[in-house]
Amino acid sequence: MITRAEYEQKIKKHINSNMSKVLSDKWRSKYHIMAPIGWINDPNGLCQFKDQYHVFYQYSPLEAKGGMKFWGHYVSKDLVHFEERDIAIYPDIEEDKDGVYSGSALVKDDTMYFFYTGNVKHQGNHDYILTGREQNVILVTSKDGIEFSEKKILLRNSDFPEDMSLHVRDPKVWEEDGIYYMVLGARGKNDKGYVLLYKSVDLYNWTLHSVPAGGEENMGYMWECPDLFYLDGKTVFMFSPQGLEADGFKYNNVYQSGYAFGNFVNDKKELKLDQFVELDRGFDFYAPQTFEDAKGRRIMIGWMGVPDAVEHKNPTVENYWQHQLTLPRELKIIDNKLYQLPLKELETLRKDLIENKVALNSNDVLNIIDRNTFELRVDLEECSKFNMKFREDCVLSFVEGVFKLTQGKSGYGRNERAAYISNLRSIDIFSDNSSIEIFINDGEEVFTSRVYNDMLDTNVILEGEGTAIIRKWNI
């Protein structure tokens, strides 16, 4: 097993050798969280502690294509401007020696409690589903986000139900009526996804309470990154099922992330779930996690990527880094649907407003873009047909109730995603150097994607039917 000191030395050497190529890459983001070098995936340990927001994340500093996982760390006062901190958690004990996997945070009194999965892979001829793997639930605490306690092993595979495979991970913990609850995502030995529910009175000693949901036909073989919270009087279960088959415009990525409204019954022995709904209809979204901030807002951040998406390329790998996180999004329930709204604080990034009102049937070309980092807001009136081209070959269209995002060569393997929308009222686009996040009708649907246009495209080309008010801000 490699020690923490050995990892620190290897990482320092790697940074010294390759950081110049990372920093010179034109596709490094301006206002999204990226790894300093290497690979980033799932957001972890999201919380607000005292006057700071903390965002931890799955971090592979030594390998841009993913590798040994650590927990990286950023802090922020406003969820807009982030400061990098040192690596928070290293894979430096026997129970996590093959990776510090995903988990969550719970703030209690003057302490942050971090729960994560310690991954272990044994040598030999194993399938690593039923044999050869350990996935341990581990706890560390911190009073400042800088110094961390010794690791405590809370649960091992032997503590999980016998009909589960060795894939049990991603603890999410919350407090309710003086009791602490933990959900874990699991893969059953029958190759169906499940959620496990544990409970505790002290955060250190946990017992299995139930297997409240899972085992459904056509709902995948593994439920990753479970998250359960209450919002606007509803119970929301968020998770990332693996193994869903594509269904028209739905489930077109290799793995999905979404939610279902539900209700606990029979003393939380059962979680009755409604229909599963995808959270993001774009190419690059997975493993979202939520937390509640001091203002009472439910805030979600996702990974702008998808595991095993071999058809999607990211040319930044050549410069020793890959992927980023989404912008923080506030969740609200509107018309019995979970909406995702860009945080109000993001408006502080706006500058140099340009505003135009156009008749869509005039086929206008607006020469209004002077950088790839901007916010573009389109408000529409009586729009029955819409088409907009920007960033060389990104096209947004709305025809006969179908909204589409189409990408050309700048998508590096990303082609088309779509969703049904009854009417199109507004589009809000957050464009960064190598990404776009598109909010339809103030968060009714969201499309997230990476984009790597070779040249700066200064034009926005509009056509269709109806009237549009276009507002563009530089960021």
Question: Which positions are annotated as active-site residues?
Answer: 42
469: number of Cβ within 10 Å: 14
- Spatial separation of the C-alpha atoms in residues 418 and 449, rounded to whole Å: 13
Provide the residue count of the chain.
Answer: 475
State how far the Cα of 52 lies from the Cα of 75, in Å rounded to an integer.
6
Write the CB contacts of 151 (distance below 8 Å, at least 6 apart in sequence).
93, 95, 96, 118, 138, 139, 140
Query: Which DSSP category does 159 fall into?
Result: G
Q: How far apart are CA 23 and CA 458, in angstroms?
A: 24
Name the token pair of 79: 């969820």
Enter the tokens of residue 423: 């009417």
What dihedral angle (degrees, nearest 10) is formed by the CA atoms of 53, 54, 55, 60?
150
Separation between Cα atoms, residue 74 and residue 337, nearest integer Å:
31
Cβ-Cβ contacts under 8 Å for 150 (sequence gap 6 or more): 140
State the DSSP string of 329-345.
Answer: EEEEEETTEEEEEE-GG
Radius of gyration of the CA atoms of the chain, in A: 22
158: left (phi over 0), alpha (psi -120 to 50) or beta: alpha
d(CA 325, CA 372): 18
Strand intervals (E) in 68-146: 70-76, 82-89, 100-108, 111-121, 133-142
The widest CA-to-CA distance across the chain, in whole angstroms, is 67
Handedness of CA 235, 241, 246, 250 (dihedral sign): positive
CA-CA distance, 75 to 196, in Å (whole number)? 31
Stated as kind and residue range, the H or E segment containing 13 is helix 4-23
